[in-house]
Amino acid sequence: MLLDSVRHLLRLHAAAPVEPQSVHEPSPILSPEIALADDDDSAWPRARIGVAEALWGEGFLLPGGREQVVRLAKPLGLSAASSLLLIGAGTGGPPRCITAELGVWVTGYEANPRLIALANERSQRAGLGRRAQVESWDPERPKFPARYFHHGMAIEPLRGEPPGPLLGAVARALKPGGQFVLEEVVADRPLQTTDPMVETWARMDHRLPTVPSELAITDMLAQLGFDVRIAEDVSRRQMQQALLGWRAISKRCGNRTPYRGRCLWSCARRSYGLRASA
């Protein structure tokens, strides 16, 4: 279960995690002036973006960064002749790296206006333009172009919203025979919303505390006509990636106390839950 995994991690956090075979190259540490700047975006202030990208690389806001995104995308068999619906584009790292590595046309969707603006500015600067365009979507009322995309991919899109509307919108957006990869936080049992750990996690991650079960998502996908072939628990790998990232950034921060303090401010914002790829 989600909380059991987190508590187990906290008890054993001093143990050395298993090193992955390849390690991403994180972005250079941002200057304290940039990293500590305050602004009016409560969900994604510049400080939070700066810390996440220092951990996972420019454009990536979740553990694993580029390596994890490409790992999710490769089984889809993408090419320059295909189009990809990508929900959860963040600051643009996922659509840019998939386009650059696999040649596919990617239309990314993101709910936060600041992340959208930053993602598109970087895509233009990289010369990708509309090949890695990021557009806005409403998690409460998801809607995408009908029968437009060859394949779909979603990276933690729910954030407490019920899965039915999103999965239905994705099914309507894919062409016949389209494949869909989903990475999402799930739990075997409903979370206790009054649990202090759950309350803190939801508040600091700016999300609702409700989490679906893997079985519920699998059943919904089957009802929509998807043949669910893989349901993988990647909790351990994501937790190891998170610990490796913080270990690396702690070493690079050295004695720069203000910035290191901001890193610790952001630490609890990572959700170490079960993620199912279906």
pLDDT digits (tens, 9 = 90+) for 88-132: 999 999 999 999 999 999 999 999 999 999 999 999 999 998 899
CATH architecture of 2-277: 3-Layer(aba) Sandwich (3.40)
Query: Which has the higher per-residue pLDDT, 30 or 189?
Result: 189
Question: What is the percent of the chain where pLDDT is above 90?
Answer: 58
A 10 A CB-CB count for 153 gives 28
* pTM recorded for the entire structure: 0.79
Q: In whole numbers, what is the pLDDT of the chain averaged over residues? A: 81
What pLDDT, on a 0 to 100 scale, did the predictor assign at position 273?
Answer: 28
By C-alpha distance, which of 201, 205, 209 is closest to 161? Answer: 209
Compute the chain's Rg from CA coordinates.
18
- Give, in order, the Cα–Cα distances in Å from 267 to each of 5, 136, 246: 16, 27, 8
